[in-house]
Amino acid sequence: MRPALAALAILVATPALAEDLVFTLTNDSSHTIVEMYVSEVGSDQWGDNILFGPVDPGMSGEVTIADGLDVCDYDLRYVSAEGGEAEDTQNLCELGTYTLTD
């Protein structure tokens, strides 16, 4: 078997793995966001904080959900520097950007 065909056979035989879900988080609120948690809709457990640093008002950044799940609908929980919290549910596969507002 030629090398190119052998490589193709290996790729076809390998099962597909769930990809990380990546989107842009835009903070149009008046609060600095210091923590963001996600969970699959219907789950009673929040995952770990997925922000690597604070997101100040007017700033945007790329967020990656690397939970290994093949889902689009997530519950989202945000915590501000002042200690306030907000929750939402979104289909993140349909969004390129998720915008937080007051």
* H or E segment to which residue 7 belongs: helix 3-13
pLDDT digits (tens, 9 = 90+) for 71-102: 888 999 999 999 999 999 999 888 888 899 98
User: Which DSSP helix (H) or strand (E) runs through 83?
Assistant: none
The mean pLDDT value of the chain amounts to 81
Which DSSP letter does residue 55 get?
B
Domain extent listing, the chain: 17-100
Domain 17-100 bears CATH identifier 2.60.40.2890: yes
In this predicted structure, the answer to whether residue 58 has a pLDDT above a threshold of 50 is: yes
Residue 61 has pLDDT above 60, yes or no: yes
The more confidently predicted of residues 15 and 91 is 91
Average pLDDT estimate for 15-26: 72
**pLDDT computed for residue 18 by the predictor:** 56
Beta strands 60-65 and 85-91, pairing class: unpaired
Please say if the pLDDT value at position 13 is more than 90.
no
Torsion angles phi and psi, residue 83, rounded to 5: 95, 0
Give CA–CA dist 79/86, Å, rounded: 7
